[in-house]
Structure 1
């Protein structure tokens, strides 16, 4: 089922011109497609009017006799033919500066192919939002594109309507002549609005004002209201408007949808991307202070056998240098010698017994541990001592458990 299209167009001379140099066409092609054309003539008295009529007639003629196998290519060739027709008319009339702009919407069911030369525009709206708009072929538009001017500066610039491309026109304009045609069509949905117009409309009505002026109106009333508004604001130029509403005769009201960031979607067949790990603090970064003071974790050291302490050297006391009597030293030596002789004689008379070997030292296991944020991270290998391989399962003593509330921290975890 084809999408119904409601189309209406109108043109007005404005408040400050005596002649209307704009021209427009709305036609039904043999294949059932719709052709919408707006041209804005230039060149002074009568010349601009002739140029816009010659161009619009030639565009419709070429498109009506062409097969729509490649619509963008056909549109391009139609502009080339219209340009040649205007140049020939200018030579016949002796008006070398005669020329015109031109914008076309070729609508095939739900597809709309677009092409243009000059500064007449096409807009596409959906739910009140602007989806697409043609770009002007003017000197000021080029300066904005290259960052020489801002959009606000360009709006009131004296060269705002100096064309760099046109159908016909001066030799300088012809030197850069190249119609602009979108290779892909606009996709129309029910409720979409397509607006074609000359500069007499958008010079006096800003882009963001266009849809609020027509929302909720019948498609014919919307065209009338746009032209009336431009005239009320001065009507400084001819005003031409064509409006298309897809699927219904009324312009839909705006739908206030919150703007969201654009989300990219992985193409089909692409493997899912691994999550990006949260960066861990570097080894040299100071530890984060806890919210409440906690006891500092005890440092775990490798377990080693305790060795007996070496005898401490005698340290002279505060009475060092005090003399001991000689008789006391002699008596102490004789007494000590006697006791030693008595003990030696007693030991010689005691029968000998086999000595009992000392108990074996317990098997030691060493577990390497490194403190990480108050917890421990155990090494993968644990050094153990015990019987050789094949001589039974060695008995291992587990490493002492950490004290306090320390926890092991895994990569990526808390």
Structure 2
């Protein structure tokens, strides 16, 4: 969609020059597009003025005759032919070194194609902010790009306006001649501002000061305001300005971002709340992490004595070893039970077995327990020394109940063994 374009240009000699060597053109093309050109001549009295006029006229002629199918290529060709026209004019006039800068904006519909040679500039502003700008073809600009100088140091550098490219000029400048043309256009929106100018403007007005000087003003009044400010700050050079405002005649004021409704936040000093759990999709299995328990305390527990002599050994689960302290405690417990049983059996007087009986069961009158009788096997009678030894094996006084060891059984007979013996 085509935007209405409001364009105004003006040039001023400044306050310290006797002649204006700048030149500009605002030309309507046959296809309805607009061509904006600013040239800043150099080379002394009359020579600079001629160079800028020759270059700007030739650029307009080439663009008018070119096809709009490839605007960047047309701009490049216009610079090449303008350069040759300046060289021819310098040769005819006998003014070697005569040259000029040049910056072009070719606006078709809502697109702006840009090309330049030298240090005349183009700015694009949107909503009060600078969104694009050409780069100078000067020696200090190259030094800034290589980190040799800062932008502030370059401003006061003696080579601040020494060009490395120009239309015409010295053989050294011609050796590096190569116009710079952006292959992609600037996309214009309603309210966008395009500013073309010579160095007589931006030498006295910083980039960040340009838009505040013109916002809210009519496009013609904005041009007057810029030139007036440059003159008020010295006007040491010729000043040329072309201003284009897309979609409206006034330069839009700086856009103010709409303020959203204030949202309440957690007051300062309030402890942070635990984060809300993240919902898990139903299709995915929910895996809960095992609860983290406190580390166990290692404590030694003395084993107790069970009421019955039977002691169950713990089963060792696969991959689990029975603790050593459990084995020791169980062994001591079983040994104590055995000793207790042995002492009880020793205190009970064994009845004299009847001869010729294979087996006999007697009842302990004191406890009511059944005790097996001694099994007698026919054989030679025990010697009197063995009998005497058993009968006289009483404990010494004060030593308690003795542990009686039975006489060995004859060969082929049964042996009765007491549990708990060593």
How does 1:203-242 map onto structure 2 within 5 Å? 203-242=203-242
**Which residue number corresponds to residue 197 of structure 1?**
197
**Which residue number corresponds to residue 21 of structure 1?**
21
How does 1:3-402 map onto structure 2 within 5 Å? 3-256=3-256, 296-298=294-296, 303-305=320-322, 307-309=326-328, 310-311=331-332, 331-332=394-395, 336=402, 340=406
Q: Deviations over 1:294-330 (max 9, x none)?
A: 99511799754465315599xxxxxxxxxxxxxxx95
Kindly tell me: are residues 337 and 115 of structure 1, through their superposed partners in 2, closer, same or farther at Cα, counting changes over 3 Å? closer
Q: Aligned to 2:230, what secondary structure does the other structure show?
A: helix
What CA distance in whole angstroms lies between the structure 2 residues aligned with 1:22 and 1:146? 30
* Number of residue equivalences: 297
Q: Aligned to 1:8, what secondary structure does the other structure show?
A: strand
**Which residue number corresponds to residue 349 of structure 2?**
none
TM-score, normalising length: structure 2: 0.66
Kindly tell me: are residues 96 and 299 of structure 1, through their superposed partners in 2, closer, same or farther at Cα, counting changes over 3 Å? farther
C-alpha displacement of 1:338: 5.3
What CA distance in whole angstroms lies between the structure 2 residues aligned with 1:37 and 1:124? 15
C-alpha displacement of 1:97: 1.0
Q: Aligned to 1:331, what secondary structure does the other structure show?
A: coil
C-alpha displacement of 1:336: 4.9
What CA distance in whole angstroms lies between the structure 1 residues aligned with 2:125 and 2:62? 29
What CA distance in whole angstroms lies between the structure 1 residues aligned with 2:189 and 2:75? 23
Kindly tell me: are residues 340 and 16 of structure 1, through their superposed partners in 2, closer, same or farther at Cα, counting changes over 3 Å? same
Structure 1 unpaired stretches of 5+ = 259-293, 314-328, 343-347, 351-414
What CA distance in whole angstroms lies between the structure 1 residues aligned with 2:85 and 2:59? 10
Q: Aligned to 2:67, what secondary structure does the other structure show?
A: coil
**Which residue number corresponds to residue 368 of structure 1?**
none
C-alpha displacement of 1:72: 0.6
TM-score, normalising length: structure 1: 0.67
Which entry has the higher C-alpha Rg, 1 or 2? 2
What CA distance in whole angstroms lies between the structure 2 residues aligned with 1:13 and 1:189? 33
What CA distance in whole angstroms lies between the structure 2 residues aligned with 1:303 and 1:311? 23
CA RMSD of aligned residues (A): 3.0
- Structure 1 residue ranges, 4+ long, deviating more than 6 angstroms after superposition: 299-302
Kindly tell me: are residues 349 and 99 of structure 1, through their superposed partners in 2, closer, same or farther at Cα, counting changes over 3 Å? closer
Kindly tell me: are residues 64 and 331 of structure 1, through their superposed partners in 2, closer, same or farther at Cα, counting changes over 3 Å? same
Q: Deviations over 1:74-119 (max 9, x none)?
A: 1001000000000000000000110000000000011000000000
Kindly tell me: are residues 247 and 330 of structure 1, through their superposed partners in 2, closer, same or farther at Cα, counting changes over 3 Å? same
